[in-house]
Structure 1
Amino acid sequence: MERAALTNKLEHQSLTQRIHDRVRELIESGALSPGTQLDERKLAKDMAVSRTPLREAIATLVEAGIVERHPYRGNFVRTFSAGQVNDLYVVRQALEGLATRLAVSKLSEEGLAELHLILDEAQAALERSDLIGYSNADQRFHEAIAQASENEILIESLNRLKCQIQIVRLSANRDPDVVARTALERPRILAALEARDGDLAARLIEEHIDGVRRAVISQMSATEA
C-alpha cells in the first residue's frame, strides 16, 4: 500500500511538472502574452489533464513571478512596469557580465563551436522572419555562456530570471531596429570570447543587455504616452 501511494504521488508530481513546463512554454513563446488570463478549463482540455494538477502547476508559476493571481478574477500572465523591466535588466546585466568573465577561460573549442551554430540558427530564423525561432536562439546563446561559467549559483540565479527575461525579450524582438542591432552585437561578443578577452567580452555583453533594456523601456513609454 505504501509503495503504491508513493508511486501515485511521484506520478502526480511528474504530471504537475509536465503541465508547469507546458504552460511556461506557452508563456515564453508568446502564445500566452502578458496580461492574458489563464483559462483553466481550456488549458485543461487542450492538455487533456484534470484541473487539480493544472492549478498546482499554475501555483508554482505564481511563486516564480511569471503569473499573477488576482483575487476574485483569476490568474494572468505577468505584466511588467517600466521600473520592473529596468530592475530586471540591471540584475541580468550584472549576472551575465560575471558569467561571461568566468566563461572565457573555461569555454572549450566545442563550446565555441556550439555558440557559432546558435548564431547561425539565429541568422537563419531572422532571414525567414521567424520571431520565435530567433528569440529561442537568442535565449540559447546567453544560456550557453552562463553554463560555460560552471558556477552553479550564478546559473541558478539566471535560470530563475529566464522566463521573465523571455517575456520581455519577445517584446524587444518585435522592434526591427533592436533586432538589427543585436544581430550585429552577438558575433562581436563571440569574437571576444574566442580571443579569451574576458574584460572585452563582459563589456560587450553588458552593453548588449543595456541596449535592450533601453529599447524596451522606450517602447513602454511610447505605449503609455
Structure 2
Amino acid sequence: MKRFILTLQFLTRVTVAKNLPYDEKFNKGIIFFPLVGLVLGLILAVIYMGLSYLFNSTITSMITIASYIALTGGLHLDGLGDTFDGFYSSRGKERILEIMKDSRLGTNGVIAVLFSILIKVFVLAALPHEKALLALILMPVLGRLGIVYGCFRISYARETGLGHIYINNVSSNQLMIATGLGIAITLIDRGTLLFIPIAWIFSYLFKSHSKKIIHGMTGDTLGALCELNEILYLLYLVGKLNLTM
C-alpha cells in the first residue's frame, strides 16, 4: 500500500499521506500505474457527472479536462510539448535534449499541447453521456499503461534524470502485472479490451521513433507517450461508435 501511495503522489498532485519513509525499490511501483490512472479516472467521472447537471456537454468537458490537468500538474502535457519542440527542431541529438530540457515552450510544443486539449474536450463532448463517463475512467488508465510499455527494454537517453527511475528498469513480470491490471480495469467496457494491443503496438512504434532521434527515451517522451495514447484511445472510441451507427 505504501508503494502505491508513493507512486500515486509521484504521478499526481493527490496527497494521501505526507512524510512517507523512503522506499529503495520505489521503481517497482510501476505495476501500479494503471491503478493510479483508475484513481484519476474515477475522480474525473465524479467531476463530469456533477458538472453535467449544470452545463452543456462542451463546457462540462472543458472543465473536466482542466481538472485533469490540475490533478496531474500538467506533467504529461509538459512532456508532450517538450518532446515535440525537440523532436521536430531538425537538430542533432544533444541539441534536441537541450531543447527538451528548456523550460520555455516553442511553437511545435504549443501546437501539440493545444491540439491534445482540444481533441480531448471535443471528443468527450461528442460522446454519449455514459460513453463519456467510461472514457474518462479508462483514458488515464490506458495512458499510464502506455508509460509502462514505453519503459520496457529501451535505454535512457540522458545521463541523469527522473525518467531513469523507470526507463529500462521494467521486468517482463512487472509488464505482465501492469497489463493484467489494465485488462481487469477495462473489463468495465469490454469494447476497450481491443485497445490494449493497439496501445502496445503504438508504444513500440513511438519508442522506435524516439530511439532513432535521441537513442532512447526520457521522462518527457514518456509524458508524450501517455498523452498520445490517451488521444488515440478517444479517437478509437469515436471511430468504433461511428462504425456501429
TM-score (norm 1): 0.32
TM-score with structure 2 length normalisation? 0.30
Larger radius of gyration: 1
Higher relative contact order (CA 8 A, sep 6+): 2
